[in-house]
Chain A
Amino acid sequence: MKGLRDLSDAARRDLVLGGLTLAVFLAVTVAFPGFAAPRSLAGLLDDTAILILLALGQMLVILARGIDLSVAANLALCGMLAALVDRAFPGLGVAVAIGIASVAGAVLGAINGLLVWKLRLPPIVVTLGTLSIYGGVIYPLSGGAWVNENEMSPAFVAFTRAGFLGLSTLSWFAIVAAIAFVLGLRYLRVARALYAAGGNPEAAACSGIDPGRMQFLAYLACGAIAGLCGYLWVAKFAVAYTDIALGFELQVIAACLIGGVAIAGGSGTALGVVIGCLFIGIIRNSLPLVGISAFWQMFINGVVIIAAVLLSARNRAHVRTILESRAA
């Protein structure tokens, strides 16, 4: 039987985070048995689904030593675009709305990726700039107006709420994405190249992987996911306006950090990210039950992020250079 010490660092981290999440879940359930009721769990997953999708996309970018601050603006722009198209042509159907939002998101992600890849601009500056631009474009696009539920076609709104096996479509998107990421990151050649490019770009380049191209692909995928989430968000809340998801990018990055993705690139698992998102979701949904004001949510997230990054900094210490570890 394998002991805890034989596991890889990543697996051990996932195990600890999973255990902690499970412990919180059990503690809340013992006190409030209703928390584990199927309906309550389905609601929790529905609430967390968009965060899971966005965090998985963001993880790809961080793995490739980038960061994408523009995801929330991308989401808002693509969501508005999907809503406007639906308002103008109500008969097009949900598949078209999803297609438009995802392709538009992929284009926005590709812009980020090209600037980082071809001009070698710092990812944080590029995506800070595109965050402003994408967010700003929504206004002239929509004329500053809202698109409300009564202007959307019924199918457009109903799609995310429709149930299958007791879970919403939105939840199924997250479940399918989570499974695809766990398997894909493990078995796909391009995913292994992504880890290699993020872990050691020079070595990756020597073995025939273009680290810049991997960054581009990561931004492309992250953008497409953000675009898709744009449709999902607008349909879930049945409203599109300029400020939707404002500031959500930092929550998404925070979820990645809780999930154990290293900001230095090349390290992190899809399972960890999903558990990290579920942890946030469980805390958020249990606060009202426990009688703590929902306003504590952010504070608790902050404590968890800092604890997580402090622990991972300590675990990393033994692979540091001689010079750095001696100075500690």
Chain B
Amino acid sequence: MTLVKLMRWESMLGLVLVAEVVLFSSLSPYFLNVDTLSDASFNFTERALIALPLALLIIAGEIDISVAAIIALASVTMGLGAAHGVGTPGLLGLGLATGLLAGCVNGALVTVGRVPSIVATIGTMTLFRGAAYAILGNRVLKEYPGSFAVFGQGYLAGPVSIELALFAVFALAFGLFLHRTRWGRAIYAIGANPVASRFAGLDVNRYKFALFALTGLFAGLAAVLLTSRLGSTRPSIAQGWELEVIGIVILGGVSVWGGKGTIMGVVLAALVFGLVTFGLGLMNIPGIVMSIFTGALLILVVAVPAWLQRR
């Protein structure tokens, strides 16, 4: 059992991260360079921002498959707003509000409608993405005001992009919230045993609703950053991201059975994911080949402890 403790997720992920840095910097002279690494951060910050609230949601025993579709819907709302002359602050508000509203729909379906979350969010994923396609068809929206580009392309100080700074701040905030407050403890309790949590006086449904709303809000934030970075909106924006974001959370050691996981693990997993993507790109290995590694990593990360425990 000590072996299991030694092989905690976070230390394993840390080792993988170090190995990646060593490997890539020995393979490419351009890797260990502040500007390069700063560029690399754009590969994962948007996805990682959604992974934070999604980790809480999965720890609480629920899941949200609709996050990428929420990005599409929020991006379309912003694009339409921009086409009607809404300014940059208004667009930010539109994106966040759309995300929050979409998250509330998910939360209501699960808590009031009592639909299993995986089913509910596959439904809303189809609905939100479908709405984006229905509104936009094969059009592209790109009449964004110049100042809107700041969110996804701006830098806070030196090589630290606004996206990266946002991720750092929110990672810290989520870490403190989950591991240092009684609400964080309650989320673990709800994931480990919802019935016992209810007996202990926790309003389980209220927590779950809030977490769905929060996940939606962050999908909205990711939509603002991504749209601002790309400068355009198509209905296919962020296609397939839902599985990548869930992959980051699970890679981070969060149990899909609920009740287990840390923010540290999720942050490390996001870095591992971002560096693999970027490093292999630097070596001209196509992204699709990289998915073999991330897929294998994902299974190994859950298979190794399961195998150890059976012995």
A residues near B302, Cβ cutoff 8 Å: 121-122, 125-126
A133 touches B296 (CB 8 A): yes
Count contacts on A: residues with CB < 8 A to the other chain.
51
Given the complex of chains A and B, what is the CA–CA distance between A302 and B289 in angstroms?
A: 32
Shortest beta-carbon distance from A303 to chain B in Å: 6
Interface window among B124-132, B176-184, B211-219: B124-132
Q: Confirm or deny: A19 has a beta carbon within 8 angstroms of a beta carbon on chain B.
A: no
B contact set with A: CB distance below 8 Å: 63, 65, 109, 113-116, 118-120, 122-131, 133-134, 136-138, 195, 198, 205, 235, 239-240, 243, 246-247, 250, 256-257, 286, 288-296, 298-299, 302-303, 306-307, 310
Q: Confirm or deny: A120 has a beta carbon within 8 angstroms of a beta carbon on chain B.
A: yes
B130 touches A298 (CB 8 A): yes
The 3 closest A-B pairs by CB, nearest first: A132-B295, A302-B127, A299-B130
A residues near B137, Cβ cutoff 8 Å: 293, 295
A257 touches B122 (CB 8 A): yes
Q: Confirm or deny: A119 has a beta carbon within 8 angstroms of a beta carbon on chain B.
A: yes
Given contacts A295-B137, A295-B235, 9 further A-B contacts (CB under 8 A): A132-B294, A136-B288, A140-B289, A299-B127, A300-B130, A303-B127, A306-B109, A306-B115, A328-B114
Shortest beta-carbon distance from A119 to chain B in Å: 5
Interface window among A48-56, A158-166, A207-215, A309-317: A309-317
Interface of B is mostly: helix
Q: Which residue of A lies closest to B129 (CB)?
A: A298
B120 touches A309 (CB 8 A): yes
A residues near B113, Cβ cutoff 8 Å: 309-310, 313
A contact set with B: CB distance below 8 Å: 67, 69, 115, 119-122, 124-126, 128-133, 135-140, 144, 242, 246-247, 250, 253-254, 257, 263-264, 293, 295-303, 305-306, 309-310, 313, 317, 323, 327-328
A301 touches B130 (CB 8 A): yes
Q: Which of B123, B134, B138, B310 contacts A305 (CB 8 A)?
A: B123
Residue among B247, B286, B288, B294 facing the most chain A CB atoms (10 A cut-off): B288
Shortest beta-carbon distance from A265 to chain B in Å: 11
Q: Which of A119, A126, A137, A297 contacts B130 (CB 8 A)?
A: A297
A131 touches B126 (CB 8 A): no
Given the complex of chains A and B, what is the CA–CA distance between A186 and B289 in angstroms?
A: 43
